[in-house]
Structure 1
Amino acid sequence: MPVAGGISGRDATDLAEELGASRTGGVYLDQDRDRLVVTVTDETAASAVREAGGIAEQVTYGAAELDAVTDAFNESVSVPGTTWGTDTEANRINVQADSTVSDADYAELLRVAEPFGSAVHVSRVDGELQETISGGAYIEGGSLVPCSLGFNVRDKSNPNSLFFLTAGHCTDKTYGAADWRNGNGLYIGYEVGSFYPGADFGLVRHYNADVTKPGNVYLHDGTYQNITHSRDPFADEYLCSSGWKTGHICGYVLQKNVTANYGDGNVTGLFRWTNCIEGGDSGGPVFHGDAALGINSGKLTWNDGCDSLGQPVNEALAWYGMEVY
């Protein structure tokens, strides 16, 4: 993984955490230099980053101020067709409204944004925000809704107990305790958890001894990517996704801590990235090399293309007490 001027990505993240939410706006990947940048709000913090061998960039807003903007929108706005989240490189919260958002609701977005000045940018986009209800392998639940398997996982307290993650809006729409099958109609397990809206992840217990459950991702070209660990994505990081509908696609992280409303209520804590997943890719894995990063959640479309939204995998793993393998 790229390093920040001689320090690792983990060290850059740890350094930002040590500085605290008021003195740094986060870490992002500078694609031109292929280096991680630690954003800081004062010269003392910048010196600390440089002394550690990292690249520092002074910005106006710390993560605490940006999070306050997100909190304000989370608490007061629930409009289908809207998203908001942190653009670390631009040092602001970007708010998007799709073509279904009324003029009155758009005016409300501007009203909520006004007290925060340049810390927030509101804009319209053509097209429509959609959840991709339909990674890797094709799977379907009791309602025959097609989705994609995310990551095979195991119980941290009992490693022999195996499960898989997928999108919460997939498990939510099976109406609980559903049987799940693969693309050949073979029974693979039953649903044990669903978190949607609010977040977008669900858990299915493997319950077929005749089906192998490797800790890898199918790349839809006859090859596989082994997964060994999980982490959160970096801003501007290059990452990839796998789903039965679109196969193996890659892009760059645009925003973190994104809130999206697909019509069922706000889903918070997502990340937005370039490239376009399709219906059926929901629940599929998002990854960088052997690192599990997220689960396909939805997409924001416009006339010339679309961006995708991902649910960070670590939140799902922590919620259920699971780990990748």
Structure 2
Amino acid sequence: MLSTFSTSAAQGESHGFSAWEDTVCRTYVPVRCVRSVERPFSAHLKVQELGLSQLSRIESSAMSYARMADDIRLDSCDDLQFCLMLEGALHVRQAGRQASLKPGDMGLYDASRPFELDFPSDYRALVVKLPRALLATRLAAPERLSARLLPGDARLGALASSMIREAAALGDMAGGQVTHRLSTSLADILALALEVELLGSEPLTGRHAQLLQRVKSYMLEHLADAQLDVTAIAEAHHIAPRTLNRLFAADGTTAIRWLWQQRLAASHKALTEGQVRQVAEAALSFGFSDFSHFSRSFKKAFGVQPHTLVRSPH
């Protein structure tokens, strides 16, 4: 579904700016809006829903936005917002960090913490608003990457930029099932780009990399085992649980988080591809014995209840 807003529809400039403030706070998160220059103000916004995520194209005169501690106390929204600059510049400040974005660059900011956004000149941007759970299942502690520059000319940055632009170009053409899958795919590539380009951690090499791969293969082969835990996995490979934890820490995650993500991803794939016909079958096939817990975790990760993906028999 698409929705649009333009200050040109408002009666008078002061009404236009007031309407813009209301629109920004409803669309994104409550913030303080300040005009950067004293000249005629104009702004345009187009918003499209992508499953539980949201993609918007924003065009505005120079502006500054600030989310303060008082705003957070009034509205505890903890969405993550990812901005791709098309024209103009953005200075984003959060958690003691500052990043300056030029056209093509991207940056993340976290609605659960105070932030400041300064657009010193007219600008155009694409903004992806993601539920924290959607990104957190793919990237450990995404808030640590807020207010950091993801260059548009970086290899994975360019891939993420291209995907955001293509998603925006779809407009209202895609149906609900397509937009849901697009939303999860977009979260996948954004998490990968942030992790690889910003964390810059060196991958495991040699025997440690081989051991981690063996452990992951073992876990994938035993997804249906609801009793699989750190101790069982470590014992199967004749290593200490601490060693197992260090292997996954070097990979940017934990053993249980990785296992949980694989189980959810496998159940999602089985449902969307019609490999299973019932939610209970998807849950049991991938190590979930508590169906209610499975449904809640699935909804948190993918934005939909698992039963909505069950294919009807022909």
Q: TM-score range by the shorter chain?
A: under 0.3
Q: Which has the larger radius of gyration?
A: 2
TM-score normalised by L of structure 1: 0.25
TM-score of the two chains, using structure 2 as the length reference: 0.26
